[in-house]
Structure 1
Amino acid sequence: MTESPAYHREETRILQGPVLVGVAPGQRAVVLDQAAALASAAMLPLVCAFVDVTVYPVDGTTGGQMAPIDPDGVDEDAELIPRSLQDAVSSQLQNKGIDWSLVPLAGEPAHALARHGAEIGASLIVVGAREQKLGSAIKELTGGSVARQLLHRQDRPVLVVPVDPRVPDEQ
Structure 2
Amino acid sequence: MTEKTPHGRPQPVVVGVHPGQPAHVLRTAAAFALRFGAELLCAYANPGRFPVSEDASGTVATGSIDPDFEDQAEESFDPALAARLAALLADTGLAWRPVLLAGDAATALGHLADTVDAAMIIVGTHQRSPGSSLHDFFARSVATQLAHKQSRPVVVVPAHAHEATPLIPGTRG
Q: Which runs of 5+ in 2 are unaligned?
A: 4-9, 163-173
The percent of aligned pairs where both chains have the same amino acid is: 37
Whole-angstrom CA distance in 2 between matches of 1:135 and 1:121: 38
How far 1:64 sits from its partner (Å)?
3.8
1:144 CA displacement: 3.1
TM-score normalised to the size of structure 2? Answer: 0.80
Residue 51 of structure 1 aligns to a residue whose secondary structure is strand
What amino acid maps onto 1:31 in structure 2? V
Return the index of the structure with the highest Cα Rg.
1
How many aligned positions are there?
153
Per-residue deviation, 1:42: 1.5
Check if 1:96 corresponds to 2:115: no
Match of 2:78 among 75, 82, 102: 82
TM-score under structure 1 normalisation? 0.81
8 Å Cα contact 2:12/2:118 also seen in 1: yes
Equivalent pair of 2:128/2:137 in contact (CA under 8 Å): no
Amino acid at match of 1:76: Q
Q: Per the alignment, in what secondary structure is the counterpart of residue 95 of structure 1?
A: coil
Alignment partner, residue 4 of structure 1? none
- Unaligned ranges ≥5, structure 1: 1-12, 167-171
Partner amino acid, structure 2, of 1:154: Q
Match of 2:68, SS state, is: helix
Following superposition, the deviation at residue 103 of structure 1 comes to 0.7
RMSD of Structure 2 on Structure 1 (CA): 2.2
Aligned to 2:24: 30
Cα pair distance change 1:36/1:77, threshold 3 Å: closer
In the alignment, which residue of structure 2 is the partner of 1:140? 137
User: Map of 1:46-85 to 2, 5 A cutoff?
Assistant: 46-58=40-52, 63-85=59-81
**In structure 2, which of residues 91, 109, 112 is the aligned counterpart of residue 113 of structure 1?**
109
Q: Post-superposition shift, 1:67?
A: 0.9
C-alpha distance 54-46 of structure 1, shift in aligned 2 (>3 A)? same
